[in-house]
Amino acid sequence: MTGQVIYELHIGTFTPEGTFDAAARELLELKRLGITLLEVMPIAAFPGRWNWGYDGVNLYAPSQMYGDVEALKRFINAAHAFGLGVILDVVYNHLGPDGNYLRAYSDDYFTDRYKNDWGDAINFDGPDSPEVREFFIRNACYWITEFHLDGLRLDATQNIYDAGPVHVLAELSRRTREVAWPRNIVLIAENEPQDIRCLLPIEQGGFDLDGMWNDDFHHAAQVALTGQREAYYTDYRGNPQEFISAVKRGFLYQGQYYKWQKQPRGTVVTSQPASAFILFTQNHDQVANTLHGERIHALTSAAR
């Protein structure tokens, strides 16, 4: 992760055409910007024409809206030719509500034993779960081996529930690295509670991922840039010390009380490298959570 500059890219809106081939034609401009790693938002097939990708239902099929399988391979090959890495955002915490027919094959894919923010939780640790785990782990391996992707971004890992002896994310981490060998891959977690287990080695009960989005930094930056302090910005001041602390110590909240959630937030950071904490000022979630969906340049001054 050291030294990477990540660009979050939605194939459908990156160009007027909204295709893999059209996106490939713009890669040189991203290279000139200093980008080193492209994070492609989810492309698993979904019903309809427009989708962010987080309601995908056919996990093994790139959406035909963006092009066919060969077009995706051309896009990744073109990125590699420019020295750009490509990681794919994958969603293993739920499936979309429309077009999801897994229950037609088995009731074992889902469970009601856990609360999920987006529908039924995936059954990773209950009766008949080994086959379900294999379905999702093999999907991760498929993207790495078939398309030569350089890693994955794992969406909302806090909603991937597994109380078994080996967490499914730990197994996924191990298996994807095995199939990628001798290449190195990058595995990144989105994790709203900021659970350091994502970064811990497997032998210490962790998932052995390479990085986590640092929401604390984002929230402090938003307060500094816009002055807004409502909702989940309540507990941030946007002052210089917050930025210094985020750079030096990773997360700002490492178990302190968090008024917005009325509970402690975060876990203690110890020996994890600074490069494991990904700093950002906007992403697809945070743009969408504004009233009118504005990007940050529309909410603040150029100087800020």
Regarding whether 134 and 11 lie in a shared domain, the answer is yes
Regarding whether 245 and 130 lie in a shared domain, the answer is no
Residue 255 in domain: yes
Regarding whether 242 and 182 lie in a shared domain, the answer is no
Active site residue 150: no
Whole-angstrom Cα distance, residue 205 to residue 196?
10
Helix or strand run (H / E) with residue 121 = strand 121-122
Residue 57 in domain: yes
Residue 1 in domain: no
Q: Which residue has the tokens 């994502």?
A: 198
Regarding whether 88 and 29 lie in a shared domain, the answer is yes
Q: Which of 55, 155, 208, 215 is catalytic?
A: 155
Total residues found in the chain within this entry: 304
Helix, strand or coil, per DSSP, at residue 287: helix
Active site residue 203: no
Q: Which of 190, 215, 216, 235 is catalytic?
A: 190
Structural domain range at position 149: 6-213
What number of other Cβ atoms are within 10 A of residue 196's Cβ?
Answer: 20
Digit-by-digit pLDDT tens for the chain (304 residues) are 789 999 999 999 999 999 999 999 999 999 999 999 999 999 999 998 889 999 999 999 999 999 999 999 999 999 999 999 999 999 999 999 999 999 999 999 999 999 998 889 999 999 999 999 999 999 999 999 999 999 999 999 999 999 999 999 999 999 999 999 999 999 999 999 999 999 999 999 999 999 999 999 999 999 999 998 999 999 999 999 999 999 999 999 999 999 999 999 999 999 999 999 999 999 998 888 888 888 889 999 999 8
Residue 49 in domain: yes
- Residues 287, 294 contacting (CB under 8 angstroms): yes
Residue 276 in domain: no
Regarding whether 204 and 76 lie in a shared domain, the answer is yes
Regarding whether 108 and 60 lie in a shared domain, the answer is yes
Regarding whether 256 and 121 lie in a shared domain, the answer is no
Regarding whether 221 and 189 lie in a shared domain, the answer is no
Regarding whether 102 and 79 lie in a shared domain, the answer is yes
Number of domains in the chain: 2
- Residues 196, 259 contacting (CB under 8 angstroms): no
